[in-house]
Chains A and B, each alone.
Chain A
Amino acid sequence: MRRSLCAIAVVLAAFSARTLVHAQRPGGAQLSSARDMAPIDLTGYWVSYVTENWRYRMVTPAKGEYRRIPVSPAAVPIINAWDPSADTQAGNQCKSYGVGAIMNVPGRLHITWQDADTLRIDADAGTQTRLFRFSARASSAAKPTWQGESTARWERIAAPDEGGSLRVVTSNMRAGYLRKNGVPYSERATVSEHFDVSPLPDGGQLLLVTTIVEDPVYLNAPYITSPHFKKEPDGSKWDPTPCSSTW
């Protein structure tokens, strides 16, 4: 009897050890950085493929148009008062390239690891840089910036090598425009994003960014878009351009 119980204990202990190892990381390796833990590879060059919202993204819409954006009454006077010249004179020509809009601005992204725990996204449109920090620093009292402070976390699918997604939350940004023609978001807005990668039938890859902008000041409801990007083999078409208030 004693021998049987001991045998059971040994088997359970072995199973427990195996389970615990698996719980740490698939494959058993001790991984410590966000780069090591990445369930999907986002790095490389990606180009906007503008098949949606063409009229709002590829050209500057007419002043006063905010169709498809759930703006609050407080936003309407600002929309109707949009003055791109005044923005330029005030040095605010990057207002439509802020984190609330940048993924919808047609252009290219270059995604790299700045360090083991910081994913960097450069956008050639407006020459903007976003930093996704997986190791959150103590909330800074830094001045708000166009791209704000982004904290990221991987979401891994339970099955080994089954991929996953990247979740990013951004706050502490400067007030900006959701659209080139002055549809505003405030400094109190937060932007939540989910980055997913999907294979294309021709062997290519597509990056899908589900973007949720919530703003208690200028939006009545979350503004949700899902711009997508095709992967490019290299950076030969990378073409940084400065911000523009009008284009």
Chain B
Amino acid sequence: MLIDLVTRRSVLALLIAVLGTIAAFAQDTAGPQSRTRSTDPQSSTQPADPAVLPSQFEFTGSWGPLATEDVQNDSVPVDYLGLALTDEGRTRALSYDESQKSMIERQCQGWGAAYAVLGPFGLRISSQSDPTTKRLVSYTIDAWEDWMGMTIWMDGRPRPSEHALHTQAGFTTGRWEGGALAAHTTHMKAGFIRKTGVPLSDQATIDWRFFRHDNVLTVLMVARDPIYLVEPEIISKGFRLSQTPLDFRDPCVPGFEGREPGTAVPHLAPEENPFLDEFIKLYHLPREAVLGYRETLYPEYRKKIKDTYVSPPPCTEDCGVAGNFVRRRGPTP
């Protein structure tokens, strides 16, 4: 009887010890969803063991834009810096007239999937689960007034036929990979990769990676287009977790902006685009860079123009708050 009692107590003690070990290990490997557990590496004196992070992070919430990187490139009509365009893409872009967006039937057309990182707004992300199984079905990035939003399907559903309907948002599937959310978008309607009319064809695809480090979300976009891009357009944009919910979902309400419905679509003859030299002159930029030639994306190009480039003088009038030049445009030709 006494031996039984001792044995039971020993086993009980062993059980508690084992469960404690497992619990401690589970805590070490899981970590909090916010990924803020990492200790400051400067506090360690030996090669620190890697911090162990969960394979997924909390993606939902409101993420405010940081605006510390220039990715919009829409302050002047002809700014294709940072793009590698085909000749056809460049010609299409130069034929674009911003007045198209004043046509009442186009005012609420919105922008395509790439505008998630190219636009000025933050991301409001929610998740949707199957009501029965409770398994994750999708993430949704809410629309803005001029963006259609994005649904990232996480349930492994098949991609639709290549002949299926193409939309502004396209069709996006996602999966967790290497601690990041990886997503792939197809089935986009022909549209634009910049608001200044740089085109993106309906054959384009976009690969996304969403990385979270503490309260910073870095979104990596790799857009490929066999028609209009010589090389992928790669954009990485930062967002910061917002303590207050963001909501940019104002409805788009079309109104008369001087263009009668049914009149011709405003456009420009590419070779006569009156804004072609505006950005070039304003900032002394090389023409091939402003027009999106591939070689301008690599360091060799910087060396090539080193001896010929002259910085513009400091801005002394019509300056922005940060000392930048602002448009000094005369009447529209």
**Which A residues fall within an 8 A CB radius of B?**
1-2, 5-6, 8-9, 12-13, 15-16, 19-20, 22-23, 32-34, 37, 39-40, 47-56, 58-70, 79-80, 106-108, 117, 125, 134-136, 138-139, 151-159, 162-165, 167-169, 171, 181, 194, 196, 198, 200-202, 206, 208, 210, 212, 223-228, 237, 239, 241, 247
Contact B213 A198 (CB under 8 A): no
Contact A20 B21 (CB under 8 A): yes
Q: In the bound complex, how far is the Cα of B3 from the Cα of A66, in angstroms?
A: 80
5 closest cross-chain pairs (CB), A and B: A163-B178, A153-B41, A154-B50, A156-B50, A64-B323
Q: Which residue of A lies closest to B43 (CB)?
A: A136
Residues of chain A lying within 8 A (CB to CB) of residue B309: 59-60, 247
Residues of chain B lying within 8 A (CB to CB) of residue A194: 211, 213, 218
What are 18 A-B pairs with beta-carbon distances under 8 A?
A6-B11, A20-B25, A39-B50, A59-B284, A59-B309, A63-B311, A67-B324, A68-B68, A68-B69, A108-B299, A117-B47, A136-B48, A151-B42, A157-B179, A168-B41, A196-B209, A198-B180, A210-B238
Of the residues A12, A66, A164, A227, contact of B322 by C-beta under 8 Å? A66
Number of A-B residue pairs at CB separation under 8 A: 274
Does residue B306 face the partner (Cβ distance < 8 Å to A)? Answer: yes
Contact A52 B70 (CB under 8 A): yes
Nearest chain B CB to A83 CB, angstrom units? 12
Q: In the bound complex, how far is the Cα of B54 from the Cα of A154, in angstroms?
A: 14
Of the residues B4, B68, B69, B235, contact of A1 by C-beta under 8 Å? B4
Say yes or no: A167-B38 contact (C-beta < 8 A), given A156-B50, A226-B237: yes
Q: In the bound complex, how far is the Cα of B295 from the Cα of A30, in angstroms?
A: 47
Q: In the bound complex, how far is the Cα of B70 from the Cα of A97, in angstroms?
A: 20
Of the residues A47, A51, A138, A163, contact of B235 by C-beta under 8 Å? A51
**Which B residues fall within an 8 A CB radius of A?**
3-4, 7-8, 10-11, 14-15, 17-18, 21-22, 25, 28-31, 38, 40-55, 66-71, 81-83, 177-180, 205, 207, 209, 211, 213, 216, 218, 220, 222, 224, 232-238, 240, 283-285, 289, 296-303, 305-306, 309, 311-315, 320, 322-325
Contact B66 A224 (CB under 8 A): yes
Nearest chain A CB to B155 CB, angstrom units? 20
Nearest chain A CB to B79 CB, angstrom units? 9
Nearest chain A CB to B40 CB, angstrom units? 7
Say yes or no: A164-B82 contact (C-beta < 8 A), given A50-B298, A67-B323, A155-B53: no
Contact A159 B238 (CB under 8 A): no
Q: In the bound complex, how far is the Cα of B54 from the Cα of A220, in angstroms?
A: 33
Q: Which residue of A lies closest to B67 (CB)?
A: A68
Contact B299 A106 (CB under 8 A): yes
Q: Which residue of B lies closest to A198 (CB)?
A: B209
